[in-house]
Amino acid sequence: MIPTFKLNKYTSTLLLTMFLSLPLFVAVPIAASVDPVAQAEAAGIEDFQNAPETSQRLSYLDDSLENKGSSEIKNPDITRDVVIGLLKAQGAQKEYFWDGLYFKTFDIDGDGDEEIIAKIDGAVHLGEFFIFDRQMDGQYRLVAEEPWKVESFNDLTPIEVGRKKIYEVVQRDGGTGLDVFTAHLVYFEKGVLHKVWQGTLMERVAMWPHENRLTVGGYRYDSLSQNLYVWKTSLPMDQNGEDIIEGSGQSTFEMLHFNGSIFTK
C-alpha cells in the first residue's frame, strides 16, 4: 500500500522548496530558463559528438558532475558517417532526422570494448535512442532502439548494485499542454539493455482549466540498504498552468529493492 498524504497550503510550498533543493542523483529539469548547453560547457563536460551547433545537445543536469570530466571514449574510427551507415542498415526506420544525430563511444557494460551510444533529437518530444554493441569480429550490431527523446544520459555516476552498473536515461515526452520528464534506470549486459525502473521527474499538465497540475518526483539509492527510495508530489495549478495554487496536494513514497532484475516492492 502506497501511503498518501494531504498537504495544506504551507506544507505543500515547503515540500516543493525542499524537494528542489535536495542534492539528488539527478537534478529535475523544471526551470525553462536553465540553459543545459551552457551548464554542461561550464562544467567542462563533453557531450555527444558531431552534431550541428544549433541543435540542443544532450545535457548533464546534475551540479555534482562539475569538474569530474567525461568518461567518454573517443574512437577516431567511429565517425558521423559510420553511425549513419549503421543506422541505415540496421535501424527500424528507413530514414531518420540526421541533423539531430548525436553519438559517443563508451564501455557501458565493462567488457573492455566501447559501445556506440547514439540519440536523435527529432523535435521537442520526439527522438530515438540507440546502442550498438561491438561484436567479436569488430563489427557493430544495433542491439537497442527506443523511441525516447533523450534529455540526458548519465554515464558518470552509475548506481552500482553488485557487479551491475545502472545508468540513468532521462526522456522527455508529451504533446500540446503536456510536458513530461521520465527517468529510466537501465544496465547493459551481454548485448541486452535491461530496464530496471522508471519514474516521473516532472510532469506539467496545462490542458484543462480546472485540472492543471504540476507533479515533481525523484529518487535516491542507498548503497547500504540497497534500497531505492522513490517519491512524487502532485500540486494543483492555476487556469493558465503557470503558478501553483496554494492548497492541498498529494505525495506518495515507495521503498524498492533490487531483486537481481528490477527494482520492486
What's the CA angle centered on 233, arms 1 and 225, to 5 degrees?
Answer: 55
Listed in sequence order, the residues at least 6 apart from 72 whose beta carbon sits closer than 8 Å to its beta carbon are 46, 104, 105, 106, 155
Does pLDDT of 33 surpass 60? no
Q: Stretch 154-169: mean pLDDT, rounded?
A: 93
Does pLDDT of 52 surpass 80? no
Give CA–CA dist 25/64, Å, rounded: 8
Does pLDDT of 171 surpass 50? yes
pLDDT digits (tens, 9 = 90+) for 219-251: 999 999 999 999 999 998 887 777 887 777 889
pLDDT digits (tens, 9 = 90+) for 95-119: 999 999 999 999 999 899 999 999 9
Q: What is the mean pLDDT of the chain?
A: 77
Q: Which range is least confidently modeled, 25-29, 94-98, 141-145, 171-175?
A: 25-29
Q: Which range is least confidently modeled, 31-35, 74-78, 148-152, 165-169?
A: 31-35
Kindly state the cell numbers that stand for 265.
Answer: 516492492
Q: How far is CA 238 from CA 11, 78, 206, 214, in A?
A: 18, 50, 9, 10
pLDDT at residue 90, rounded to an integer = 98
Q: Name the pairing type of β-strands 4-6 and 250-258.
A: antiparallel
Kindly state the cell numbers that stand for 94.
Answer: 528507413
Does pLDDT of 255 surpass 80? yes
